[in-house]
Structure 1
Amino acid sequence: MTSFTLADVRERTYKKRDAWWTVFLVDPLASRLVVWTANHTNITPNQITFGAGVLGLGSAICFALADWPWLVAGAILFHLSFVLDCMDGKIARLKNNGSVFGAWVDFIFDRIRFFGCMLALLVGQWAATGEVVYLLLTPVVTFVDLLRYLNGSQVAKTRQSMREKLRAAATGSPADTAGDDPESTETAEQPIDAAPATAGDGAPVVFMEEVLRENPDLDADQVRSGAHLSGARVIDVHQGFSRKFGWYERVRAFLLRSRVRPHLFSGIEFEMFVCVLAPLTALLAPISPLPGLIVPVVVLSCAALLFFEVVIVYKLWLATRDFTKEMNRIQAG
């Protein structure tokens, strides 16, 4: 049996950028569990996904019971289920035994786990307290979570469409217009580690965002100088955002050195705040006369997620303006 090390897990399964909750609160445990699991068992990624679903079911049951010890137990089980949810992908990448169907199963189980636990938490609190605010929050949380999925998908398609058109314009090749159809699920994205396309003058064509993602020690000015890119042609559709927020590149580089993505409150943090942090505030119940903090934490989570979604859309809008300028510049020669 192959002997995997912690270094193997980090090198072969860690994403170059990830949610801060995953980087600091999940990966340190998940990676060590992956080493033991990969070296001592034949457990498959799908079996780990099923285990995460079982823990998620246990978490939902605990939330439905509503009393503070059960809320704390439910929060712990939900976090552990997310650890397993991260492990299945790592095992798949480490042992190269993943599957397309397994990715579908992982996604579906993840959504069922979150919605089941969220409903159990809020409806359980309504049943226990009679406070209608818990029922009112249920569709709000559902809407916010659905919105971020729809927005994330469409933003990714739009960005990919811009990259493909700019790459095609720079290389003189036909553009792949898969991203133009809003109903299309095909992105045809060129992998970041693939060989870059070349412009008409033979120079490689690269995108600023991809270079910085792969090389967090570089800054935008170094990339623009081309000193580290062997004469590559750099295309940047985020110049407008960078000009308006000069500090962003420095913060982004600082975060990426720790693998933390600048999108500081993403879907992962949203789920963890709702199903881990909010119920954990029940620990204050035996020692504090204050009302429960579940509602404030859930409201704060919704507000934070919506704020970052607005920022993403604003950044995309500025990028579309830079895209038009860059296309005009390329077409003008």
Structure 2
Amino acid sequence: MTTFTLADVRERTYKSRDAWWTVFLVDPLASRLVVWTANRTDITPNQITFGAGVLGAGSAAAFAMGSWPWLVLGAVLFHLSFVLDCMDGKIARLKGTGSVFGAWVDFVFDRIRFFGCMMALLVGQWAVTGQAVYLLLAPVAVFVDLLRYLNGAQVAKTRQSMREKLREAAAGREVDADVADPESTDPSGGAAAEPEDGGEEGGERVVFMEEALREDPSLDREQVYARARAEGARVVDVHAGFSERMGWYERLRRSLLRSRVRPHLFSGIEFEMFVCVVAPLTAVLSAVWPGTTLIVAVTVLSCAALLAFELAIVYKLWMATRDFTRELARLQHRRA
């Protein structure tokens, strides 16, 4: 029987970059629980996902009670539910037992858990306090959460479309610069012609800066260029304009990645944790000053922070599309 170690978990299951909440507040506990679970039990990832759902249901029930001791219990249960949610994927990667359906189950359970707990928290507070602000805040929080999912998916598709078009151009195909339809089933937008003589075989090999930095976060841009030159490849950096304007971002990115923390400091994970953990924990203030909580304030600030980072992503994408157009024109000019 294979015996897994903590080093195995870190090497095989840790992401090269992750949310700071996961890195500092989840992985230290989850990785140790994964070692124990993988070595001593036959529990499957889907069973762990189900357990996370049970804890999430308990958290929602506690939030619905409304009083501060129940809110604190709900916050603890939600965080433990998220720990289990991180464990299922780690065990799947560690044992090689992951599946496409399992990934779907994990995603759906995660969305149901957060939506149920958030609504239980806000509606529960309305029922206890009678303050309509909680009912008004509920659809706002739902909208912001939905927006970041829609935006994330579309941004990813647009970036993928740009990369595919640049690969086509480097391979000698004729492509257009339109990336406005990320729903297209053809990554190249349906405009690519058949390769000319020496197309893919004689085309220029392309290294995308964002992919190189994602695969090895320890690298900086200069090292990627040096490695590509040594391999006879061309570096394509569609975020060059953003990096030039935001030099501080590169310094921050390198600093954060030393601890595996991604620069997107307030992502969906932080949003969930602040709404369903930090906000209800402020209810302990009621033990000293009855009726005092910061649930509304924390939730509003969380929505604002998430929207701010989503706008930053959109701005970065806009800058990337400008660099993409220029890079595509250069590749096609070289081909001509």
- In the superposition, the TM-score normalised over structure 1's length comes to 0.91
Q: Does residue 110 of the first structure (1) align with residue 104 of the second (2)?
A: no
Relative to structure 1, is the Cα distance of residues 205 and 227 closer, same or farther in structure 2, using a 3 angstrom cutoff? Answer: closer
Rounded to whole Å, the distance in 2 between the matches of 1:116 and 1:245 is 39
| Alignment partners' CA distance in 1, 2:49 and 2:160 | 30
Query: Structure 2: where are the runs of 5+ without partners?
Result: 189-198
8 Å contact kept, 1:199–1:233: no
1:91 paired to 2:91: yes
- Distance in 2 separating the partners of 1:151 and 1:76: 30
Q: Give CA deviations for 1:293-322 in whole Å, capped at 9, x if unaligned.
A: 000000000000000000000000000000
SS in 2 for 1:172: coil
Q: Which residue in 1 is equivalent to 2:135? A: 135
Task: Note the 1:253-264 alignment, pairs <5 A.
Answer: 253-264=254-265
Q: CA deviation at 1:115?
A: 0.5
Shift of residue 225, structure 1, vs aligned partner:
3.6
Checking the alignment, whether the CA contact within 8 Å between 2:66 and 2:125 is kept in structure 1 is yes
Structure 1 Cα separation of the partners of residues 5 and 187 of structure 2: 35
Superposition pairs of residues 212-227 of structure 1, within 5 angstroms = 212-226=213-227
Residue type matched to 1:294 in 2?
A: I
Deviations 1:199-225 (CA, angstroms, capped at 9, x unpaired) = 776764211111122233322123234
Give TM-score, length-normalised by structure 2: 0.91
The number of residues matched between the two structures is 323
Residue 72 of structure 1 aligns with which residue?
Answer: 72
Report the equivalent of 1:279: 280
Amino acid at match of 2:316: K
Gapped runs of 5+ residues in structure 1? 189-197
Find the counterpart in structure 2 of residue 323 from structure 1. Answer: 324
Distance 1:201 1:183, change over 3 A: closer
How far does the alpha carbon of each residue in 1:146-198 deviate from its partner, in whole angstroms, 9 at most, with x for none?
000000000000000001111111122587x9x8754458979xxxxxxxxx9
State the match for 2:19 in structure 1. 19
Q: What do you get for the CA RMSD once the two structures are aligned? A: 2.3
Alignment partners' CA distance in 2, 1:5 and 1:185: 42
- Offset of residue 99 of structure 1: 1.2
Give the stretch that moved more between structures: 288-297 or 8-17: 288-297
What does 1:189-268 correspond to in 2, within 5 Å? 204-226=205-227, 230-268=231-269
Cα distance in 2 between the residues matched to 1:26 and 1:242: 31
Distance 1:269 1:209, change over 3 A: same
Q: Deviations over 1:84-110 (max 9, x none)?
A: 000000011111111111111111110
Q: Which residue of 2 aligns with 1:294?
A: 295
Q: Distance in 2 between matches of 1:155 and 1:108?
A: 21
Partner of 1:165: 165
Match of 1:193 in 2: none
Separation (CA, whole Å) in 2 of partners of 1:186 and 1:89? 30
- Aligned residue in 2 for 1:46: 46
Residues 172 and 30 (structure 1), Cα distance of their counterparts in 2 relative to 1, 3 Å cut: same
In structure 1, distance between residues paired with 2:37 and 2:214: 30
Query: Is contact 1:278-1:297 (8 Å) kept?
Result: yes
The code of the aligned residue for 2:285 comes to L
Are the structure 2 counterparts of residues 229 and 131 from structure 1 closer, same or farther at C-alpha, using a change threshold of 3 Å?
Answer: farther
Q: For residue 206 of structure 1, give the secondary structure of its aligned residue in structure 2.
A: strand
Question: 1:2 aligns to what?
Answer: 2
**AA matched with 1:329:** R
Name 1:62's counterpart in structure 2: 62
Shift of 1:288: 3.4
Residues 100 and 29 (structure 1 numbering): CA distance in 2 closer, same or farther, change over 3 Å?
A: same
Match of 2:194 in 1: none
Judge conservation of contact 1:172–1:200 (CA < 8 Å) in 2.
no
CA distance, structure 2, for counterparts of residue 76 and residue 229 of structure 1: 52
The one-letter amino acid paired with 2:206 is V
Letter in 1 for 2:51: G
Identity %: 75
Classify 1:185/1:277 alpha carbon distance in 2 versus 1 (closer, same or farther; 3 Å). Answer: farther
| 1:231 positional shift | 3.0
Contact map agreement 1:199 1:205 (CA 8 A) in 2: no
Question: What SS does the aligned partner of 2:287 have?
Answer: coil
Separation in 2, partners of 1:99, 1:225: 38
Aligned equivalents of 1:234, 1:199: Cα separation in 2: 17
Q: Give the match for residue 192 of structure 1.
A: none
